[in-house]
């Protein structure tokens, strides 16, 4: 028996909205509110605070019930607070990015004129919402974070108290970071699959002003902010960890982590905008190629012909001078310079 897929004019909108209930980081802002509906900012903050504070609740429980397992130094508790703050920020950035993507959903469907393209892209995107895939990435990240803490603990234990709450905080941060990393990769690939498709329905005389591209640019800007925060957090935490002790393992980690974070920030933060630029460029080139034959190679012989040619030239110039980007190019340059400059400063300070 052959299954048939019925095209839906709002296929992508439906799939993206389903992400409010299936994306792990976004679900953290929906405690007690099941279903594929976005939450208000106030509700998102309240729920995200509860999730991010789990290690702190555990610490309070240990203090009250098992004092010997609790952390006893301000520095150690401060680290847990820092982890919780990063978790809160990551969850809210994920919620913000998905909310912007949800707003862009109907316009993304409008971009895809071909029903088959909508079905293919929606089917692929639906697969990325798989709970199993997300859990594998998040669990691997959490386990990796705990292993790194265990390996570095002997070198830093004299200056930084390590306890069960420390591992809980690192594991939770690893879980959230793994999910965020997963979606940074998915969104970069999604932007490529969407924006490199031929025949996108754009505003022909000003492709950059197409609503779908403008809204996608807003979502990608939030994605870029998330990548930058992740990079800076990795670098700052590495610097702090180095101040607590020295070991071969810690040295290797401190050399690798900032570089990996920097490369990831550049790829995840800039690639989606590159696909946006290419989509606008190709659409504008296509429009200019169609307008070019309307402009005669020879000067007009009559006044009436001259007026017609003038109107055609003005139309050509309108397309030619339309914005080439739906985003601020200077901001992208500053973003890349900030990442590379911070990496350079990090290694110069160490050596």
Residue 128 lies in a domain: yes
Is a pLDDT exceeding 60 seen at residue 303? no
DSSP string, 216-282: HHHHHHHHHHHHHHHHHHHHHHHHHHHTT---HHHHHHHHHHHHHHHHHHHHHHHHHHHHHHHHHHH
- Whether residue 17 is contained in a domain is answered as yes
pLDDT band, residue 88 (cuts 50/70/90): very high
- Among 257, 222, 266, which Cα is nearest to 237's? 257
Contact yes or no for 154/47 (Cβ under 8 A): no
C-alpha span between 138 and 291 (Å, rounded): 51
Closest-CA residue to 326 (of 233, 203, 244, 230): 203
- In this prediction, residue 250 carries a pLDDT of 78
Question: What is the span of the domain harbouring residue 169?
Answer: 11-350
Question: Does residue 33 or residue 224 have the better pLDDT?
Answer: 224
CA distance 143 to 175: 9
CA distances from 13 to 88, 121, 169 (A): 27, 11, 35
Evaluate whether residue 36 is within a structural domain: yes
Predicted confidence band at 59 (pLDDT cuts at 50, 70, 90)? very high
Q: Does the residue 1 lie in any domain?
A: no
Q: What size, in residues, is the chain?
A: 351
- Which range is least confidently modeled, 48-52, 53-57, 255-259? 255-259
Question: Mean pLDDT lowest for which of 29-38, 84-93, 109-118?
Answer: 29-38
- Looking at the structure of the chain, the number of domains it has is 1
Write out the DSSP string of 304-323: HHHHHHHHHHHHHHHHHTS-
**Other C-beta atoms lying within 10 Å of the C-beta of residue 138:** 21
At residue 36 the predicted structure's pLDDT band, cuts being 50, 70 and 90, is low
pTM metric for this prediction: 0.85
Q: Is residue 3 part of a domain?
A: no
Question: Does residue 234 belong to any structural domain of this protein?
Answer: yes
Q: Three-state SS for 159?
A: coil
Is pLDDT at 101 greater than 80 in this prediction? yes
Give the pLDDT band of residue 5 (cuts 50, 70, 90). very low
CA-based torsion, 77, 80, 84, 89: positive or negative = positive
Q: What is the mean pLDDT of residues 115-137?
A: 93
Dump pLDDT digits (tens) for 262-302: 777 777 778 888 888 888 888 888 888 888 887 766 666 55
Give domain status of residue 68, yes or no: yes
Instruction: Specify the 3-state DSSP secondary structure of 88.
Output: helix
pLDDT of residue 190: 94
Q: Residue 246: how many CB atoms within 10 A of its CB?
A: 11
In this prediction, residue 1 carries a pLDDT of: 34
For residue 126, the model assigns a pLDDT of: 95
Q: What share of the chain is helix, strand, coil (3-state, %, to 5)?
A: 80, 0, 20
Closest CA to 222 of 176, 252, 183, 168: 183
- What are the helix (H) ranges across 53-73? 54-65
Residue 55 has pLDDT above 90, yes or no: yes
Segment 60-73 mean pLDDT: 90
Q: Is the pLDDT of residue 42 over 90?
A: no
Residue-wise pLDDT for 247-263, tens only, equals: 777 777 777 777 777 77
**Rounded Cα distance, 187 and 225, in Å:** 14
**In angstroms, rounded to a whole number, what is the distance separating the alpha carbons of residues 7 and 315?**
36
Taking residues 185-202, report their average pLDDT: 90
Q: Does 5 fall in a domain?
A: no
């Amino acid at each position: 028996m052959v299954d048939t897929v019925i095209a839906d004019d709002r296929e992508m909108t439906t799939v993206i909205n389903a992400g409010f209930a299936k994306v792990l980081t976004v679900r953290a802002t929906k405690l007690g509110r099941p279903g594929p509906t976005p939450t208000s900012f106030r509700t998102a903050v309240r729920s995200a605070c509860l999730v991010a504070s789990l290690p702190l609740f555990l610490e309070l429980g240990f203090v009250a019930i098992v004092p010997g397992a609790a952390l006893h130094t301000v520095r150690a508790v401060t680290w847990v607070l820092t982890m919780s703050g990063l978790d809160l920020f990551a969850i809210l950035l994920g919620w913000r990015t998905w909310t912007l993507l949800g707003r862009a959903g109907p316009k993304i469907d409008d971009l895809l004129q071909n029903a088959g393209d909508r079905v293919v892209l929606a089917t692929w995107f639906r697969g990325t919402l798989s709970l199993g895939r997300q859990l594998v990435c998040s669990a691997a990240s959490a386990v990796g974070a705990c292993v790194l803490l265990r390996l570095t603990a002997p070198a830093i234990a004299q200056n930084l108290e390590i306890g069960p709450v420390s591992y809980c905080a690192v594991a939770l941060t690893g879980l959230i970071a793994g999910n965020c990393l997963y979606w940074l990769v998915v969104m970069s690939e999604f932007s490529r699959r969407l924006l490199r498709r031929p025949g996108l329905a754009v505003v022909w005389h000003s492709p950059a002003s197409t609503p779908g591209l403008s809204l996608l640019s807003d979502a990608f800007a939030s994605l870029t902010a998330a990548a930058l925060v992740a990079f800076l957090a990795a670098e700052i935490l590495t610097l702090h960890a180095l101040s607590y002790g020295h070991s071969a393992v810690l040295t290797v980690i401190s050399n690798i982590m900032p570089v990996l974070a920097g490369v990831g920030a550049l790829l995840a933060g800039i690639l989606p905008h590159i696909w946006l630029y290419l989509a606008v460029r190709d659409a504008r080139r296509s429009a200019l190629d169609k307008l070019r034959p309307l402009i005669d190679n020879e000067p007009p012989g009559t006044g009436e012909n001259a007026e017609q040619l003038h109107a055609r030239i003005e139309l050509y110039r309108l397309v030619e001078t339309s914005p080439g980007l739906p985003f601020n190019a200077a901001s992208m340059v500053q973003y890349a310079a900030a990442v590379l400059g911070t990496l350079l400063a990090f290694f110069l300070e160490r050596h």
